[in-house]
Amino acid sequence: MLDLKLIRENPSLVQELLDRRTPGAYDLQKILELDARSRELETSRSQIQARSNEIGKLIGQKMQAKADPKAPEIQALRTEGNQLKEQLAAQGDTEKEIKAAIEALLLTLPNLPNPQTPVGKDETANVEIKRWGDEFIPKHDGILPHWEIGERLGILNFEKAVKVAQSRFVNLIGAGAALERALASFMLDRQIAAGYVEVIPPILVNTQALTGTGQLPKFAEESFKCDRDDLWLIPTAEVPITNLYREDILEAAQLPIYHCAFTPCFRREAGSYGRDTRGLIRLHQFNKVEMVKFVHPDQSEAEHQSLVANAEAILQALKLPYRVLQLCTGDLGFSATKCYDLEVWIPTANTYREISSCSNCGDFQARRANIRYREAGKKGTQFVHTLNGSGLAVGRTMAAILENYQQPDGTVKVPEVLQPYLHREIL
């Protein structure tokens, strides 16, 4: 959530930064009008309350002086006092309604892009930062798409998943299921060694949790909801992990806090129909190892760089070619102020595909979820900065392995670092 004080004091700056995302998509005027009205009512309430207090004091003084309680002067003061109380009650309701309206509008506004975020209207303006592993790109011909080689090997089955659920689901069978477990264990072991504390969170969360991280209200159509309960299937473990500290005040000495989690994730992929309709790239249910950080604002940028490095380390250990992109303002996620995408090489697509998105959300999520910290010896509290990234999306990693490690004889070599987990060298 954006700081209302910042909008009030620097509306032109905030509008300019929002327009860097999508020109003309966000209008601050209604928020500014409601905020002005809210402040007027606060001033009025203070004046009414002051007069009400004055009347109570006057009545008390007169009663101490043994005045007749039924005297016209006292009766007039009491009548005025009762009228003021009614005014305060009515005005209080109006103030609550206005504040709720302001909050509802604030919840629709995305985070402001970091000054370092490139300006551009869509993914074509993303900036490539680096490439790694060109020497590991397969040189032989005849590589089959990962879904085809997976079905030939009997480790992926999409047809039966349609029978059980619908399209965009998959059954992992035999070595496919083992490879998924091996990848998850390997990724978790690496992230834990990097300092992350593992969490197994709920995969059903309430509306407040999704609102805290920014998925609601904007992305309700992207999510799966349990109609009988106020519960949603998580789109990423970022949601339950970030909300571990919702409404908490941390001590500065506790920061940074690192967590990782391996969970299933669920997304409707609304608006993506016709894209990646086959294979493991864009499923409604997929597994992912997520990394989440809670950090001091002064360390936010350095922690973002190390988060990206933690994700890169997995791809490097697996010897999967990848590149790093810095996302432009038009491709930036709703809650992010700055973001790097890691894209892995998919030979049959002859391109790189996203496998991790590493976002710095600044204090945006912390404001929505009210996650603060307190400096020792200082008054007041500040909002933490939250960061998150995939370390990695397991299904997409499997897709990359099935293609990049595919052998001319139709088998798939198991990456060396996974062999101790999978107890085999060939699929």
Alpha-carbon distance of 281 to 346, in angstroms, equals 10
H helices of 112-255, in order, are 146-152, 159-164, 175-193, 207-213, 238-242
What is the crossing angle of helices 175-193 and 394-404, to 10°?
A: 110
Contact 161, 223 (CB under 8 A): no
Active centre residues (catalytic)? 267, 282, 354, 357, 396
The residue count of the chain comes to 427
DSSP 3-state assignment of 113? Answer: coil
The DSSP secondary structure of 11-34, one letter per residue, reads HHHHHHHHHHHSTTS---HHHHHH
- In the numeric block, the tokens 């995305």 are attached to 110
Helices 29-64 and 72-106, axial angle in degrees (round to 10): 160
CA distance 410 to 418: 19
Which candidate, 398, 368, 395, places its Cα nearest to that of 384?
Answer: 368
Whole-angstrom distance, CA of residue 261 vs CA of residue 87:
52
Burial of residue 225 (number of CB atoms within 10 Å: 0-12, 13-18, 19+) = middle
Q: What is the DSSP letter of 236?
A: S
CA–CA separation, 188 vs 196, rounded Å? 9
Phi-psi category of residue 300: left, alpha or beta, with phi > 0 → left and psi -120 to 50 → alpha: alpha
Coil vs helix vs strand at 380: coil
Between β-strands 385-393 and 225-226, what pairing exists: parallel, antiparallel or unpaired? Answer: unpaired
Tell which residue, 320, 309, 311, has the closest CA to residue 345. 320
Nearest CA to 360 out of 188, 114, 120, 129 is that of: 114
Q: How many helices (H) and strands (E) does the chain have?
A: 13, 16
Q: Is cis: bond before 145, omega within 30 of 0?
A: no
The tokens 């059980």 sit on which residue? 164
